Amino acid sequence: MSFWRILALGCLLTAIAPCSPGQDGRFSKTLTASEQTDAGLGRLSVDQLAVLDALIRRDEKINATPDAAHLAPARFSQRLSPEERASAGLDSLSEAELTRLDGLVQQRVFGNLSPLVAKAARPALQPEPSGPAPEIHGVISFTFGGGRGGYREKSGFMMLDYQDPAHGLELLVGYGESRISGPLIGRGGYGWYPR
């Protein structure tokens, strides 16, 4: 494998590793264009969309664990404080757009169930904690060198480490390649240069 192919492969693996599906979590990115238009999200600024996405993530976390003593209002927009509504730009939406947004958030947070039914059904639907999630770690190393007599060296090394603590599995894969040109290198690692 040529040096440049190794370099391209290493860069590709580095770029792909953090992009596992489902980790984005932004509500506004999961909607179709027609849903965004119906909910009025096209009129919100980028900052307001970011605030809205953060509020919806918080709402998902709060509603993940049911609390029968403190039932929240059924509509997402009613669960927000006036300051949160203003910073998310919800005050600029019409009542129809706000109702559509509340419906989309309810579908995202509770599925097709109503909030009261979902709160009662959640404990039975939640899976048992399975321990720590698998992790991928990696190292990429590149070396370039030169010396007297036309000596040149370039090398690359890549290592990926997959760890799954829940199953007691660890897999380590590495690959390295060096290209050296110039004067001969003697036995035992000592350099020999012709005169």
Beta carbons of 27 and 53 less than 8 angstroms apart:
yes
Rounded CA gap, 36 and 105, in Å? 12
State which H helix or E strand residue 6 sits in: helix 3-16
* Tokens, residue 115: 């909030």
Residue type, 161: D
The set of long-range contacts for 123-131, using a CB threshold of 8 Å and a minimum separation of 24, is 123/66, 126/64, 130/166, 131/165, 131/166
Distance CA 11, CA 184 (A): 32
Q: Which two tokens stand for residue 151?
A: 């000596």
pTM for the whole thing? 0.45
Residue pLDDT, tens place only, 119-166: 444 444 455 556 678 889 999 999 988 887 788 889 999 999 998 888
- Dist CA 150 CA 171 (whole Å): 40
pLDDT tens across 80-97, in order? 888 888 888 888 888 888
Cα 165 from chain centre = 20
